[in-house]
Structure 1
C-alpha cells in the first residue's frame, strides 16, 4: 500500500495544481505539488528500505484490469521488486528536491501552477514506467514521459526556439518508439504474453526461436532485443537519435535537471536492465548495444569540449554518461549500469541545479564566455559545482568514481579491452577536460560579462541552495556507501532476482581481477583531463584560440555537433516539406478543393448556356427543333 501511494501521490498533486491553479494561485499550487512529492518520497524511501533490507519480499500489487480482448489481457499492476524499489526511491527523492528548487527558480513566472502540475505529472509517468509489470504498462509510462516532456520543454511557448525544441524531442522520440512498439508486438507473437513473469519464465525455452523474414531466418530474441534498444536509443539519446537532448535545454533549468538526471533519459537504460533475462539470450543485440553505447560516450564527450552554453555542456555530458550505462548492459554488468544511473542522478541533478543557480545569478546569461570571476561572488554555488564536476569525472572518493570505474573495468574484462572499453576510457579523459573547462571559464579569471549584470550577481535563495546541499551529499557518499550492495559481494542478496545475468554471472566479481594499470587508468586520465583544462584556460589562455584556428575543420565539426542537424535537415526535413507542399497544393488545393470548384463551374457554364437558349424567339426555337430533327434522322439512318 505504501509503495502504491509513492506512485500515485504525484498524480493527485498534479491534478489539483492543474485543475484548481487559478484559485490556488502560485503558492497554493506549489504547496499541493510539493506535498504530493514529499508524501511520495517518504513512502518511496520506506518501501525501498523495507524491501532492500530484506524485511520485505518482492510482489505484485494489483490495481485493476486494464485490457481484455480475446486472449490478450493486460492488468494494471505495480511490480514491487529491488529494481523498481531502487528506481522509485531515486525518482521520488530527486524529483522532490527539484520541485523545492523550482520555487525559487520559477519565482515571478506567470504560469507557476501549470509548471508544477506538469512537473508532478512527469514524475508520475516515470513512476508508472519503472513499476510496470508488463510491457504495455511500461509503454504507457514511456509515452507519458514523452508527452509531458513536450509540454515542459516548450513551457515558455512564446519562444519559437522552445516550440521547435519541444517538437523535435517529441518527433525524434516517436521514431524510437516505433521500434519499441514493434518489439512489444514481436514479444507477444513469440511468448503469447506481455507480462514480465510470463516472458522471463519462457525465455530459455525460446532461446533458439527464429523469425522467417524475406527468406532469411533471424534469431527471434536478437530481433526483439534490437527493436527494444531502438526505443531505448530515442529516450536515452544515443547517437543517431540524440539531437533532441541538447535542444531540450530550452525548457526551464529544473526541467533539464529532471529530464536529464532522474527520469526520461534513464528510461531506456531501465528498459534494457528490466529485460536482462531476455537480453542474456540475445548476444547480437548486446553487441549492438555495446557499439552504440561506446560510440555515444566518446562522441558526446568530444562535442562537450567546445560548447559554450553552460547547460548544453552538461547536456552532452548526460548523453555521454548514458553511453557508459549501455556499455555496462552490453557486457552483462546490469547492476553496474543501474549503480551508475543512481549516482549519475545525484551529481547530474546537482550540476544542472548549480548551473541554474549561476544563470539565476547572471540574470539569465548562459554563455560561459561572458562569465568568469564568479567564485568570489557566489562561493556556495562554486563549491557545489566543484563537487558535482569531480563526481562526474570519477575522482575518488566521490560517487562517480565507484560506478564509472566499475563500468570501465567491466568493459575491459568483458570485451578484453575492445572498442567499447577504448571509447569509455577516452571519454573519461574528455569528461574531466570539459568539466574543468566549465569550472575555470565560469568561476575563475577576470569577469568577462556585462558590467551591469556582474554588479548584480548574488547567491541564490535558501530554497534553491538547500536542495544543492542534499544532492551534494548524494554525489559524495552514495557511491561508497552502496557499492557493496549494488555491485559487490552482497549484490545477489540485494537484487534478489530482479536482475538476471545468466550468461554473465561473474562479470562484476571479475572486475576485482582487473590489471592494476587498467584499474587506475580512468582516474589517471581524469586527473590529466583537469590538468589539460588548467593549462589551456589558465596557464596559457591563448592556446584554445590557436588550436581552434590551426585545426579549424575539426573545431567546426565539433562546434556544429558533427552536423547531425544539418544532415537530418537535408535527408528528412526538406524532402518531407517538399512532399507536404506538393500534397497541399496538388492534392488538396487542385484536386480535393478543385473537384467541387470544377463541378460548380460546370454547373454555372451549363446553366448559362441553357439560359442563353431561352431567348423567347419563335424563329430560334423552330431552328433548334429543325437541327435536332436532322440530327435524329441522321443517327437513325446510320445505325439502322
Structure 2
C-alpha cells in the first residue's frame, strides 16, 4: 500500500509526460487524476487507524516510535555507510500523506475544468503529478539524502509549474526567481546534512536521533570560530527551511509564484512545497531540541514573517497575491510553534491550513475564471449575485483563515481558529522577551489577516460592479480566447462548472470541521498527543501544559483582534468606501512602502542582482569576448591568416621571379659567409 501511495503519481507523470500526445489530453487528465484519487484514498486508509484507532497498522516499534519502514533497494554503500532506500511512515508522515494527496487530487480534479482549453494540458498534468511524487518522496524519507532528493525534486517541479506558460516573460522570471532563491536555502540545507553526518556519524534519521544525545555538547570549528556543533547544524538546516517555506529574507519568490496557473498556486501554497520546511523541522525536532539558540531564532523569524507578510497583504490588489502573502504569514505562525517547542501545534496548523488555503486559492481561481482572467480586485465587485456558490465557499475559507470561533470551546470554531489560537497561546507560554515578541507579532498579524481577508471579500463580492471591470484577458491563457466577446466581464460572469466546484465542497468541509475533530489529537491533551504522534516528533509536555493555562485575556486576544479587523474592513469598504483612498493619500510613504513589499525586491536587486549582472557582463565582454576570443583564439587565428595571406603573395607562378629570389638568396648566403670569415 505504501509503495502504491508513493509511486502512483510517478506512473501518471511518466505516462502523461511521455505519451501525452499519443493518448490525448483527456486520457492524460483522467489517468493522472484517477491515480491521485486512489493514492488519496489509500492515504486516508493509512491515517484513520492512527487518528481514531490503535495506531499504524503493521508498524514496528523503534524506541518510542511506531513506524513502518518499507525497504525498496540498497542505494549507496561507501566504507561503513550502507544506505538503503526506505519508505518511512509514522504519524507525522501519515499526516503529510493525507495533506499532500488529498489537496493534490482535488487540484487535479479542479484543473480538468480550469485548464479545459489549454493546448498543453497533458504536460500540465504530468508536472502536477511529478510535483506530488517529489513531495511524497520527501515526506517518506528515512534518511537525510533521501529527503534531499525529494527536496530538490519539489524545487524542480515547482520551477516547471510556475513557468508553465513559458511564452510569458513574467512567468519565466518568476520561475527563475523561485529556483534561485531556493538554491540559496538549499545550499545551507546541504551543508547542514554534511554537518549532521560529521557530528553524529549517521545519515539515517533513527541513527541520528540515537546519536544526538551523545553529541549534544560537541564543538565544531566553523568559519574559523569554535561553536556549538548542533547549533551550527540546526541553523544550516533551518536555512533550507527558510528558503523552501518562504520565511523572512528568503520569502521574495513566493508572491511571484502567482504567475503560474491558479491550480499551481493552490498546490504550492497550500499543502506541498511551502510546508516542506515545516515538515523538515518537525521531523528533525530531536536535533533542534539540543540548540536553544536555534529554537529562539526559529521563533523570532517566524514571528517577523507572520507580521511582515500580513502588513504587505493589507494593500495588495491582485486577488491571488493577497492570498499568497496570507500563506507567507501563516507559515510564520507554524514556525513560531516549532520554535516554541510546540511541534504538534505547528503540524496542526499545517494540517488545517491545507484545507482552507487550498479552498481560498481554488475559490480565487473560480472568481478569475468567472471574470475572464481578471485578477485585480479593484475591477470586481458585486459578484455574490453572479457566483453565489463560489461566494459561499470563499466565505467559509475566510472564516477559517481569520480564526472565527469561541475561545475556550473545543467544538465551536472553524479549522483555523483551533490551530492558530493554539500557536498564539504556545508563544505566550514561552515567556521572556522572545515569547512576548512572538505573541504580540502574532496577535497583530491576526488583526491584519482579518482586515485583508474581509477586504478581499468586500472588494470582490460586495458593493456594485466597478466600471473598470471589462474585457481583461490573459494573453497567455490560450484556453480563454473564446471569451473575447464584447461587454463587461461582470455581465458575462458565470459560476464555475461542477468539476471545479466539487473540490471546493470537499475543502470547505475540511475547513469547517478539521479543527474541532483533530484538536484533541494535536494540542488538547498531552497524553493523547504523545500517543497520537508515537514519538515521531518531540512532545514538550511543559510548554503544551503552560499554553493551556495562559490568562483568559490571552485566549481571547486573537479573537478580539480578528473582530477588530473585521469591523475596520466593514467600515472602510462598505460604509465609508472613500476612506482607503484618503488614508493612502495622507500616508503616501507608508502606503508605497507596503505596496512595494518593504522594497525587498529593490534592495536585493541593488545588492545582489545588479552586481551579479555587472560581474557576468565583465566576464562575458571583458574576459571572454575581448581577451579569449578577441586576443587569444580569434586574434591568433587572424595573425596566422595574415601571415599566410602574405606568404601566398610570394607564389606568383613566374619563373623569373623564382630565379630572382634564388639569386637574392645566394647573394645573402655569400655575404653572410664572407662576413663570418668563412671565405678567405
Matched, 1:46 2:45: yes
Q: Note the C-alpha offset of 1:505.
A: 3.0
- Which portions of structure 1, spanning 4 or more consecutive aligned residues, are displaced by more than 6 angstroms? 631-637
SS in 2 for 1:380: helix
Q: Does 1:405 align with 2:421?
A: yes
Structure 2 spans left out of the alignment, 5+ residues? 60-66, 406-412, 471-486
So what's the TM-score if we normalise by structure 2?
0.91
1:486-505 equivalent positions in 2, closer than 5 A: 486-489=522-525, 490-501=528-539, 504-505=540-541
* Aligned partner of residue 117 in structure 2, secondary structure: coil
Q: Is the 8 A contact 1:415 1:421 kept in 2?
A: no
Residue of 459, 462, 467 corresponding to 2:498: 462
Relative to structure 1, the CA distance from residue 214 to residue 568 in structure 2 (aligned partners, 3 Å threshold; closer, same or farther) is closer
Aligned partner (choices 434, 444, 456) of residue 462 of structure 2: 444
CA distance in 2, matches of 1:426, 1:126: 33
Deviation readout 1:73-114 (Å, 9 max, x if unpaired):
321111111000111011111111111111111111101111
Match of 2:431 among 406, 411, 415: 415
Distance 1:626 1:193 in 2: 85
Aligned residue for 2:552? 516
Identify which of 153, 165, 168 aligns with 1:144: 153
CA shift in 2, pair 1:409/1:629, >3 Å: farther
Q: Given the alignment, which residue of 595, 603, 608 partners 1:559?
A: 595
Change (3 A) 1:634 1:445: farther
C-alpha change, 1:172 and 1:214, in structure 2 (3 Å) is closer
1:61 alignment counterpart: 70
Choose 600-609 or 471-480, whichever is displaced more. Answer: 600-609
Choose which of 190, 196, 206 in structure 2 pairs with 1:181: 190
Counterpart position of 1:29? 28
Q: Does the 8 Å contact 1:393/1:400 carry over to 2? A: yes
612, 624, 627: which is aligned to 1:591? 627
Select which of 112, 120, 133 maps to 2:129. 120
Give the deviation of 1:600 after TM superposition.
2.2
In structure 2, what is the Cα distance between the partners aligned to 1:166 and 1:625?
A: 75
Could you tell me whether the CA contact under 8 Å between 1:153 and 1:250 is conserved in 2? yes
Deviates more, 1:451-460 or 1:594-603: 594-603
Give 1:435's match in structure 2, choosing from 429, 446, 453.
453
Aligned-partner SS, 2:77: strand
Q: Secondary structure at the match of 1:376?
A: coil
- Asked whether 1:135 is paired with 2:144, we answer yes
Aligned to 1:473: 509
Write the distance in 2 (CA, Å) between the matches of 1:114 and 1:609: 59
Contact 2:71 2:85 in 1 (8 A): yes
- SS of 1:497 mapped into structure 2: coil
Name the structure 2 match of 1:232.
241
Distance 1:381 1:632, change over 3 A: farther
Which is further off, 155-164 or 352-361?
A: 155-164
- Alpha-carbon distance in 2 for matches of 1:636, 1:231: 83
Residue matched to 1:482 = 518
Deviation for aligned residue 1:587: 2.2
Residue range with higher mean Cα deviation, 14-23 or 535-544: 14-23
CA offset digits 1:241-265 (Å, max 9, x no partner): 1111111111111110000001000
How do 1:306-321 residues align onto structure 2 when only pairs under 5 Å count?
306-321=315-330
Does 226-235 or 609-618 show the bigger shift? 609-618
1:599 Cα offset (Å):
2.3
Quote the residue 1:74 is aligned against. Answer: 83
Aligned residues: 634
Which residue is equivalent to 2:265?
A: 256
Aligned equivalents of 1:216 and 1:242: distance in 2? 29
Task: Report the TM-score when normalising by structure 1.
Answer: 0.96
Shift of 1:578: 1.4
In structure 2, how many angstroms separate the alpha carbons of the residues matched to 1:336 and 1:626? 102
Whether contact under 8 Å (1:331, 1:415) holds in the other structure is no
Structure 2 Cα separation of the partners of residues 300 and 46 of structure 1: 36
2: CA distance between counterparts of 1:633 and 1:459?
Answer: 108
2:313·2:326 contact (CA, 8 Å) conserved in 1? yes
Query: Are the aligned partners of 1:437 and 1:537 in contact in 2 as well (CA < 8 Å)?
Result: yes
Alignment equivalent of 1:332, drawn from 341, 344, 362: 341
Contact 1:368 1:441 survives alignment (8 Å): yes
- Give the drift of 1:5: 1.2
